[in-house]
Homo-oligomer: A and B are copies of this chain.
Amino acid sequence: MEKDNEFYMAEAIKMAEEAANIGEVPIGAVIVCGDRIIARAYNMTERLNDATAHAEMQAFTAASEVIGGKYLQQCTLYVTLEPCPMCCGASFWTQIGGIVYGAADERQIMGHNAKLYHPKTKITGGVLENQCSKLLKDFFKNKR
């Protein structure tokens, strides 16, 4: 039986929870190829002192290493928050087959992202949305 979007998003949520546990903004990602999770990552901007160390960026790099190639057309990224323009642009270069995200990015501080995706990337939003956004809200509530 093929695993569904909620199954893989739950795995991405586990990664986000790991991020929260070490004080990182809780955003998690996994990349799936066929029925297999080939990369798991979470936001590490604080720990790595690197503003570009988003979950997606690290997942792309890790997945490319597993696959041994720079294109991810056969893969799907599951990420708990809608990707920012940096990560959308990165996904464009990887030509990733699909992106499934949980919570929508309500801030959209760099404008709308949709046109940054590769035309062949299938985008699905809102999977386990409440769980994904609750993680973020709880994190920032505790920070204040």
> In the assembly, what is the distance between CA of A57 and CA of B57, in Å?
10
Within 8 A of B (CB), among A7-43: none
* Chain B residues whose C-beta falls within 8 Å of the C-beta of A69 in the assembled complex: 49
Chain B's closest residue to A45 (CB) is: B70
The answer to whether the Cβ of A1 comes within 8 Å of any Cβ in the partner chain is no
Beta-carbon contact of B50 and A70 below 8 Å? yes
Copies in the complex: 2
Beta-carbon contact of A84 and B94 below 8 Å? no
Q: Could you say which of B50, B84, B92 contacts A110, with CB atoms under 8 Å apart?
A: B92
Chain B's closest residue to A96 (CB) is: B51
* Chain B residues whose C-beta falls within 8 Å of the C-beta of A116 in the assembled complex: 85, 110-111
* Chain B residues whose C-beta falls within 8 Å of the C-beta of A71 in the assembled complex: 51
Chain B's closest residue to A69 (CB) is: B49
